[in-house]
Amino acid sequence: MFTLHCKERILKIDSPIVMGIINSTPDSFYEGSRQLNTDKALHKAEQMINEGATILDIGGQSTRPDSTLIEADEELRRVLPVIECIRKKFPEIFISIDTFYAKVAKNAMHAGADIVNDISGGNMDENMLATVASLQVPFVCMHMKGTPQNMQHQANYIDVTKEVLFYFEERINACRNAGIKDIILDPGFGFSKNATHNFQLLKDFAVFKTLDKPLLLGISRKSFIYKTLGITANDALNGTTALHAIGLINGASILRVHDVKEAMQTIQLIQSYLK
């Protein structure tokens, strides 16, 4: 069991949980995740909560390959109203802010968020680790080489699993030295990785359990699934579910998903299978 301190509350993970994706962006790779006003975001949040989500992950910047970088102020303009409305209507839900900007993380916490989810593991903003430490909230540390604008040109590894493992060891030390107590690890499927790398990481996923941190699996509807199947992201739910099952068997603690109901059903079945 993992215990995460989310400001005044405790999030206990004694079985796998689901993080639902809500994007306040016009250009996220999966159209179904885009909620461009607070009413739509609230409706999506209610649906995800009713289906069993423990965390809602709010993002204001697309981080798909070759996406356009936006500045922190624009990201704040997109995410703060969504966070404030969700926190007011659903006070019990845990909210994470998907950002690599320390300024966004800090303001999102004041608006009601509980967790910082950083695709760069603190490497794109030198103030991020100190900011998270001062806020005393959990930190999702993801592996990525480069930035979303150039990461796919850096998908070069001798041993992808070993490199991600070494990266996590270094980042855990950096987080601890900064004063961050609760860390969640995300291998970063699709970020500076090709399909071969993604499948290898999924095969080796259990290796990361040696780090004794909650493991986040973020593969929902990603291109290595739909391109392997010769379909589109809109048709990739079945493929996502199949790989979620593998990730859960190999030790995933958190599924970050577009489709909460199906993820919850997968967790229920795998838990029954593992008994």
Active site residues: 222, 256
How many other C-beta atoms lie within 10 A of the C-beta of residue 261?
Answer: 15
CB 175 within 8 A of CB 123: no
Residue whose C-alpha is closest to residue 120's, from 145, 95, 139, 155: 145
**Beta strands 2-6; 9-13: pairing state:** antiparallel
DSSP β-bridge partners for residue 32:
none
Q: Token digits for 165?
A: 């493992």
Residue type for 143, please?
H
> Phi/psi at 58 (nearest 5 deg)?
-100, 125
In the 8-state DSSP scheme, what is residue 5? E
Could you give the 3-state DSSP secondary structure of residue 49?
helix
Report the chain's terminal Cα–Cα distance, integer Å: 16
**Beta strands 139-142; 94-98: pairing state:** unpaired
- What residues contact 241, with CB distance under 8 A and at least 6 apart? 262, 263, 266
Distance CA 14, CA 271 (A): 12
